[in-house]
A = this chain, B = another copy of it.
């Protein structure tokens, strides 16, 4: 049977400030109403059964993935959790190990969750060709015909035509611009898309040959329960570097769909419509005499530019980036700095997602903090109490079921309730409609660590 293995563990810092450590690129709605992960799943319609779609991700993203895949009927058990990111070779090895235990002839399509593809039909055609080829015991890589001399991608040289595939001569690192121009002129070069198809059994053979330590580690994993014990000892390595560059069983299927790995703000700007002056206005924008300005706004602010050229402006409620379009690769460096400075802006948005919904910090001042809280239908927060703050809740839409000490009551829209500090409480949405409350906290300390949990649906 055919399976999809979607890699969704990346922390993708290149879209900061839109992406944050706890809200990476694959979960973002970049274009349209689906996240990149959801679009990746959607593209597999008719190719793989939902029950055969696996998603490898980090522990911390479990609830995010669960929420995002809810509508696709993919079982929760197909979310494979890594305690730490170890690059792609361990992740694909793990899935091969687990799936081959269920189906020894399994064919796996390995797909990144954070790329953009136009022409879904062409994509499916390439995928089907790759599956046919993988059934002949090849490690199949999907190579993209370059449409520009990009320096942002690795290349694969492959030209010798075989029956149904191209023979790969070699893998090449990201080139400088001169080399990229040479590659671009020469029809033998393809972009390395990071999409692979192989039999689980064949991959495991190649791991045994070229990454014997990893093979041994994987051998210790009989079920998902074993992952946390084994994982810390595993060495991080990419499947390209660890397997593909060494294996003698590589085949390339050339693909002609429009593809980008969305590796930077500048790459993103490629896929957005532009006005006559080359400006992208994604939000409430007014440009005067500006050219090649790409504004991406997440929030309600009005943004204006005057006489500015070739700049990306990415705006969020708590952080703004203004970046030369030729320097968008350096966003990664900036995020590293923020991490070193222990700034929260690299980690979370003002709106933080939770398994039960989300909250947004609206204001924090001396002695108070204001949040807007949204509780999804049929979800509830933990039974909890705070040492250092009281809470005033005003329901602004929906109906709240509130445990307040010994009492439980329903609080309707336009009603309020007061939770004094030290009192056990719980907030629940028992309805089908979203519940929104404004929470005004008063007290001396408002950190998320002043929560004592007594009961929690999400085992926190």
* A interface residues (Cβ-Cβ under 8 A, vs B): 286, 288-289, 300-308, 311, 313, 315, 317-324, 326-328, 330-331, 333-334, 337-338, 343, 345, 360, 362-363, 365-368, 370, 372, 390, 392, 394, 396-397, 413-414, 416, 418, 436, 438, 440, 442-443
Given known A-B contacts A319-B301, A330-B288, A330-B289, A396 and B307 have beta carbons under 8 A apart = no
Cβ-defined contact, A323 with B308, below 8 A? yes
Closest B residue to A366 by beta carbon equals B397
Cβ-defined contact, B320 with A320, below 8 A? yes
Instruction: Contacts A307-B326, A367-B413, A413-B442 known; list 15 others, CB within 8 Å.
Output: A288-B334, A289-B330, A301-B319, A304-B319, A304-B334, A305-B321, A306-B322, A306-B330, A308-B311, A313-B322, A315-B320, A320-B320, A396-B442, A416-B416, A438-B440
**Shortest beta-carbon distance, A456 to chain B, in Å?**
27
The CA-CA distance from A225 to B179 in the complex, in Å, is 81
The CA-CA distance from A455 to B166 in the complex, in Å, is 85
**Shortest beta-carbon distance, A17 to chain B, in Å?**
8
Cβ-defined contact, A394 with B392, below 8 A? yes
Contacting residues, chain B, for A440 (C-beta < 8 A) = 394, 396, 416, 438, 440
Pick from B286, B306, B370, B443: contact of A362, CB under 8 Å: B370
Given known A-B contacts A362-B363, A436-B365, A321 and B304 have beta carbons under 8 A apart = yes
The CA-CA distance from A418 to B320 in the complex, in Å, is 38
**Oligomer: number of copies:** 2
Pick from B306, B318, B324, B345: contact of A306, CB under 8 Å: B324
**Shortest beta-carbon distance, A190 to chain B, in Å?**
31
The CA-CA distance from A318 to B321 in the complex, in Å, is 16
Contacting residues, chain B, for A305 (C-beta < 8 A) = 321-323
**Shortest beta-carbon distance, A378 to chain B, in Å?**
21
Most B CB atoms within 10 A — which of A306, A363, A397?
Answer: A306
Pick from B300, B327, B330, B337: contact of A318, CB under 8 Å: B300
Most B CB atoms within 10 A — which of A317, A337, A394?
Answer: A394
Contacting residues, chain B, for A394 (C-beta < 8 A) = 392, 440, 442
The CA-CA distance from A327 to B360 in the complex, in Å, is 37
Cβ-defined contact, A301 with B318, below 8 A? yes
Contacting residues, chain B, for A370 (C-beta < 8 A) = 362, 370, 372, 438
The CA-CA distance from A397 to B369 in the complex, in Å, is 12
The CA-CA distance from A363 to B39 in the complex, in Å, is 31
The CA-CA distance from A64 to B396 in the complex, in Å, is 34
Closest B residue to A324 by beta carbon equals B307
The CA-CA distance from A324 to B305 in the complex, in Å, is 8
Contacting residues, chain B, for A320 (C-beta < 8 A) = 301-304, 313, 315, 320
Cβ-defined contact, B322 with A308, below 8 A? yes
Contacting residues, chain B, for A286 (C-beta < 8 A) = 334, 337-338
Contacting residues, chain B, for A390 (C-beta < 8 A) = 414
**Shortest beta-carbon distance, A351 to chain B, in Å?**
11
Given known A-B contacts A288-B330, A322-B313, A440-B438, A396 and B365 have beta carbons under 8 A apart = yes
The CA-CA distance from A105 to B39 in the complex, in Å, is 82
Contacting residues, chain B, for A303 (C-beta < 8 A) = 319-320, 322
Contacting residues, chain B, for A418 (C-beta < 8 A) = 416
A-B contact pairs, 10 of them (CB 8 A): A288-B337, A301-B320, A306-B321, A306-B327, A306-B328, A308-B311, A313-B322, A360-B363, A363-B372, A394-B442
Closest B residue to A337 by beta carbon equals B286
Given known A-B contacts A308-B324, A365-B396, A416-B392, A317 and B301 have beta carbons under 8 A apart = yes
In the A-B complex, the 10 residue pairs with the smallest Cβ-Cβ separation, listed nearest first, are: A307-B327, A307-B324, A368-B396, A306-B323, A394-B440, A414-B442, A362-B362, A302-B319, A305-B322, A392-B394
The CA-CA distance from A334 to B289 in the complex, in Å, is 11
The CA-CA distance from A170 to B176 in the complex, in Å, is 62
The CA-CA distance from A328 to B368 in the complex, in Å, is 39
Cβ-defined contact, B367 with A397, below 8 A? yes
Contacting residues, chain B, for A315 (C-beta < 8 A) = 320
